[in-house]
Amino acid sequence: MAQSIQRPVTEVAMQEEAHEARRLRKVLLATGVGHFVEWFDFGLYGTLAAIIGMQFFQSSSPAAALLSSFAVFGAGFVMRPLGGLWFGSLGDRIGRQKVLANVILLTSGATFVMGLLPTWQQVGLLAPALLVSTRLVQGFAAGGETSGATTYLAEFAPARRRGYFTCWIDNFGFMAFVAGSGLVFLLTASLGETAMNEWGWRIPFLIAGPLGIVGLYLRTRLEDSPEFTAAVRAGKTAQTPLRTAVTSAWRALLFCVGFVVIKAVGHWTLQTFMPGYLSTELHFSKLDSYAITTLGLFAIAVMVPFMGYLSDRFGRKPLMLAGCGGFILFTWPAMMVMAQGDMLSAMLAMLVLGAFIAAFDGACSAAMAELFPTGVRYGGMSIAYNFAVAFFGGITPWFSAYLITTTGNPFSPAFYVMGAALVTFLTVMRAKETAGQPLRR
């Protein structure tokens, strides 16, 4: 009799476990695909910065045009804190799922429009004005994406696997940059640099339209996170989540800002600055520059889930400290290796730097989510993440190019990366270990 009772109970438990696993896969896929679309759209500008500089700015110098293009890239980041404040507050009041669906619609629309913009040769000063406008819309929408997607996944994931689940946000983000960079590489190889410069650059932006529709469809079919639903039922959501975050979770805000410094600088150095740097300063062909960048970003995407698994097993702090330490010690040597002019050496240098950002990202997403209570998690993370990204990440491509122009030293951007890594290293040293613990409520 005992055996006959035990068997159904075991079968029910197995069915519930299988159902939960299917639900987690659905949530991960829909959130990840939406994040992929968001960053495919947002990252195209950086990949095509050198071409955009020539199309939208009047300059006889490729370096000056690239500098102008990076300045517009940074303008998009000016809007990220505003987007973070707006979408973060909404996410903590009306739910994560609804906000994430609106974010992807806004970004994809702006990116699609960017592919239709007239150039300097066609409309003169109106061209860069329109370019800036679309970048501002992109930046506003991006302010609600990463913090929202990370919050959403963290609130679904089991505590013992939260690092692994949340790090897939970074995996999908890097795969989006791989897809964007790879698409640009294929178009350049098939069309040739002349056709790519004249009209082929528009194709990746126009693809954003149908991709956005797919991402929107997947996100509208999701349910809200169990943590947020429980908080609503218990009456623990904040009426003014941003004010509550600033007044009651200010320590978490400061730690989150410190975490994001190297995340922002490291990401935008490898994703956005490198393609233009390799072609303009180190004199690789555009085709080789895209190939080097694409391989490096793909390697990061492959490594991130493994690093997330390690962060669940050994803790967030060891992985984050290892990533920061690697940037401090090896950024300068890696850039010197790139300058040798050999494509294989440049690829190896990109892989080395990529391993450090992968180690950091594998732990960072979960660590940020674990800092905040449920009632202010989306808004609190949005404030800290977007202000840090806007201030440190948004200026990375422009400031790196500026350092080279003013110092004449092609390796000078290494100092900026190393300084950012040191700031985050010291912050992580003072943080508490949060791996494996329940989310704060």
101 within 8 A of 41, measured Cβ to Cβ: no
What are 342-358's pLDDT values in tens digits?
Answer: 889 999 999 999 999 99
Number of H helices, E strands in the chain: 21, 0
Cβ neighbourhood burial of 3 (10 Å; 0-12, 13-18, 19+): exposed
11-40 core/surface letters (b: 16 or more CB in 10 A; e: else)? eeeeeeeeeeeeebeebbebbbbbbbbbbb
pLDDT at 411 over 80: yes
Tell me what the mean pLDDT of segment 43-58 comes to.
Answer: 77
pLDDT at 405 over 70: yes
pLDDT at 17 over 70: no
Select the highest-mean-pLDDT range: 97-106, 324-333, 373-382: 324-333
Which contiguous run of DSSP H or E holds residue 372? none
Tell me what the mean pLDDT of segment 390-396 comes to.
Answer: 83
> Which pLDDT belongs to residue 330?
96
> Which pLDDT belongs to residue 22?
78
pLDDT at 64 over 80: no
Tell me what the mean pLDDT of segment 47-62 comes to.
Answer: 74
215 within 8 A of 38, measured Cβ to Cβ: yes
> Which pLDDT belongs to residue 73?
67
pLDDT at 15 over 70: no
> Which pLDDT belongs to residue 305?
94
> Which pLDDT belongs to residue 16?
62
> Which pLDDT belongs to residue 367?
96
Rounded distance between C-alpha atoms, residue 150 and residue 372, angstroms:
12
> Which pLDDT belongs to residue 7?
52
Rounded distance between C-alpha atoms, residue 361 and residue 243, angstroms:
28
What are 88-136's pLDDT values in tens digits?
Answer: 888 898 888 889 888 888 888 888 998 999 988 888 888 888 888 888 8
96 within 8 A of 203, measured Cβ to Cβ: no
Rounded distance between C-alpha atoms, residue 71 and residue 59, angstroms:
14
Contacts of 177 (CB under 8 A, 6+ apart): 39, 40, 43, 47, 271, 297
> Which pLDDT belongs to residue 347?
92
Tell me what the mean pLDDT of segment 406-428 comes to.
Answer: 94
Rounded percentage of the chain residues whose pLDDT exceeds 70: 92
> Which pLDDT belongs to residue 25?
83
97 within 8 A of 37, measured Cβ to Cβ: no
Tell me what the mean pLDDT of segment 189-208 comes to.
Answer: 89
Rounded percentage of the chain residues whose pLDDT exceeds 90: 33
Neighbour count for residue 343 (Cβ, 10 Å): 17
Mean pLDDT of the chain: 86
Contacts of 160 (CB under 8 A, 6+ apart): 312, 436
